[in-house]
């Protein structure tokens, strides 16, 4: 996310900065981030209704979720360079228009194939919008204190969307139908575009795109996701599944070679010489795998196994998400007093405890008990992520902070995409839904235990450089 690392002096000289920080810019950027985050989760509660309306089995529903997340993750790194090259305002506006058009296509989709294709386009548009929205904030607020407050407000948009996604998705699906979970993007997108018309043009910065790296990254991630989803549905011995996994392996090898030898790599491999960076990325991956995978599995459980409506299923996620903002602040205070390692380890262990407790959920467990058992999973992530982000950024030189942030966001999105693929495969391959659900949460719990142990190997406070 190179756009986020634009030098302050350059930002201060831009037309945006001349105003000393514009609420119009912040409003447009916040709305964009809200939409990006909302569409990662709002669809999950609607999956059973989508399946009944458009047909398709578990693998098709997995693609409705992963089509968005996959393209978002795969294009994130080079999207920052694109934003630099054409200007943040133009990149954000173009991404926003494409996002709105793709949302309309999702809402009008006549079949599952069209819906998945439109979700892929949505994810690509979100990848462009994400770094551009933050770049607009940086350019508009040259004062460091003002910028910090603006970025904090920007993050609120994402946090509110994550909390509201399942509830809003359930409410819209139950009241006016699942198609409105996509149509709701249109008025918000139009408002953001109206605000953007009052934003001055952004400066263009010299930035080269890593075309080979981008193509091979999409091939690797797409092949892996397809192989896991389709292999779980129809068996891993099928020729198309074997071929897709071979494409993933070849793409990954080509990507690493391109990053090692390329003149302008989108993912500088020296970053991974830092133990802090490597562990932070694995932790971020596992947190999203546990959270997004959990929402996916328990949305299906509540509706398919327990007969809850989409609205009731969405309401069941309120306890898990309601305290996220408060816990985020508590995490920052704990990190300031004890160092980031303490809230990181505590958060992962809290999440693990919640996942283990969820293995006790059965066919007749009270649904409100299920909702309460999911609370530690949400709180664990809320406790970990702020400290995790702070530790990663503190470990990097200032001129690499934007790249490190983009890599972390990519790792987290990949974690969510792979989790939906793997957990869906476990659900499809198990003798009963409950057996597959238990294996899914146990796998997530084991992953968090492993990453908590890796976190304990880190120094008590983040340190600069990539030498660790």
pLDDT tens digits, one per residue of 247-284:
989 988 988 888 788 777 777 777 777 788 888 889 98
Among 195, 224, 287, 267, residue whose Cα is nearest residue 70: 224
Please tell me the predicted confidence (pLDDT) of residue 271: 72
Task: Give yes or no for residue 20 having a pLDDT over 60.
Answer: no
Contacts of 396 (CB under 8 A, 6+ apart): 271, 274, 277, 404, 464, 466
Please tell me the predicted confidence (pLDDT) of residue 467: 39
Q: Say how many Å lie between the first and final Cα of the chain, rounded.
A: 23
With beta carbons less than 8 A apart as the criterion, state whether 424 and 102 touch.
no
Average pLDDT for 336-351:
87
Task: Give yes or no for residue 448 having a pLDDT over 90.
Answer: yes
Give the whole-angstrom CA distance, residue 183 versus residue 63: 20
CATH class of 269-468: mainly alpha
What tokens were used for 184? Answer: 């709701």
With beta carbons less than 8 A apart as the criterion, state whether 387 and 344 touch.
yes
Please tell me the predicted confidence (pLDDT) of residue 446: 94
Contacts of 333 (CB under 8 A, 6+ apart): none
Average pLDDT for 131-136:
79
Task: Give yes or no for residue 401 having a pLDDT over 70.
Answer: no
Give the confidence band of 140 by pLDDT, cuts at 50, 70, 90.
confident
Average pLDDT for 84-98:
85
Give the confidence band of 152 by pLDDT, cuts at 50, 70, 90.
low
Question: What homologous superfamily does CATH list for 1-205?
Answer: MFS general substrate transporter like domains (1.20.1250.20)
Please tell me the predicted confidence (pLDDT) of residue 202: 66
Q: How many residues make up the chain in this entry? A: 468
- SS3 at position 372: helix
With beta carbons less than 8 A apart as the criterion, state whether 388 and 283 touch.
yes
Least confident of 94-108, 280-294, 386-400: 386-400
Task: Give yes or no for residue 1 having a pLDDT over 70.
Answer: no
- 3-state helix vs strand vs coil in the chain, percent to 5: 80, 0, 20
What tokens were used for 252? Answer: 């990954």
Q: Output the average pLDDT for the chain.
A: 81
Give the whole-angstrom CA distance, residue 353 versus residue 335: 21
Torsion, Cα of 166, 167, 168, 173 (10° steps): 80
Give buried/exposed letters for 54-80 (b at 16+ CB in 10 A, else e): bebebbbbbbbbbbbbbbbbbbbbbbb
Cα 173 to chain centroid, rounded? 23
With beta carbons less than 8 A apart as the criterion, state whether 11 and 387 touch.
no
Average pLDDT for 361-367:
88
Among 34, 104, 117, 31, residue whose Cα is nearest residue 70: 117
Structure-token match 């090692």, residue found: 260
Please tell me the predicted confidence (pLDDT) of residue 250: 92
- SS3 at position 176: coil
Regarding pTM above 0.85, the answer is no
Average pLDDT for 367-390:
86
Give the whole-angstrom CA distance, residue 417 versus residue 9: 37
């Amino acid at each position: 996310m190179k756009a986020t690392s634009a030098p302050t002096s350059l930002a201060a000289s831009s037309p945006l900065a001349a105003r000393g920080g514009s609420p119009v810019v912040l409003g447009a950027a916040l709305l964009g981030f809200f939409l990006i985050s909302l569409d990662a989760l709002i669809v999950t509660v609607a999956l059973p209704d989508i399946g009944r309306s458009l047909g398709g089995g578990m693998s098709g529903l997995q693609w409705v979720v992963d089509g968005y997340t996959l393209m978002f993750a795969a294009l994130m790194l080079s999207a920052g360079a694109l934003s630099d090259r054409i200007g943040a305002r133009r990149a954000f506006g173009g991404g926003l228009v494409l996002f709105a058009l793709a949302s309309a296509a999702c809402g009008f989709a006549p079949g599952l194939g069209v819906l998945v294709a439109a979700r892929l386009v949505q994810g690509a548009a979100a990848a462009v919008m994400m770094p551009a929205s933050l770049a607009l904030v940086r350019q508009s607020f040259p004062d460091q204190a003002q910028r910090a407050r603006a970025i904090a407000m920007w993050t609120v948009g994402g946090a509110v969307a994550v909390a509201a996604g399942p509830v809003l998705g359930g409410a819209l699906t139950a009241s006016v139908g699942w198609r409105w979970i996509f149509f709701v993007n249109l008025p918000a997108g139009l408002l953001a575009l109206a605000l953007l018309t009052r934003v001055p043009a952004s400066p263009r910065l010299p930035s080269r795109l890593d075309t080979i790296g981008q193509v091979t990254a999409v091939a690797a991630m797409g092949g892996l996701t397809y192989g896991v989803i389709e292999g779980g549905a129809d068996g891993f011995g099928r020729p198309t599944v074997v071929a897709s996994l071979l494409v993933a392996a070849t793409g990954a090898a080509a990507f690493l070679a391109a990053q090692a030898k390329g003149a302008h790599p989108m993912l500088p491999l020296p970053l991974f010489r830092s133990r802090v960076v490597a562990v932070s990325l694995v932790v971020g991956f596992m947190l999203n795998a546990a959270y997004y995978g959990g929402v996916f599995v328990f949305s299906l459980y509540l509706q398919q196994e327990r007969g809850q409506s989409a609205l009731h299923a969405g309401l069941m996620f309120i306890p898990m998400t309601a305290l996220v903002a408060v816990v985020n602040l508590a995490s920052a205070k704990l990190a300031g007093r004890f160092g980031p390692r303490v809230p990181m380890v505590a958060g992962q262990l809290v999440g693990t405890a919640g996942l283990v407790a969820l293995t006790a959920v059965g066919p007749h467990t009270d649904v409100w008990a299920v909702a309460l058992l999911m609370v530690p999973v949400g709180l664990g992530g809320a406790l970990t992520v702020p400290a995790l982000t702070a530790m990663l950024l503190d470990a990097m030189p200032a001129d690499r902070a934007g790249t490190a942030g983009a890599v972390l966001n990519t790792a987290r999105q990949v974690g969510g995409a792979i989790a939906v693929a793997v957990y869906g495969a476990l659900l499809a391959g198990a003798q009963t839904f409950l057996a597959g659900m238990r294996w899914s949460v146990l796998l997530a719990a084991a992953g968090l235990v492993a990453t908590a142990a890796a976190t304990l190997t880190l120094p008590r406070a983040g340190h600069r450089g990539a030498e660790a």
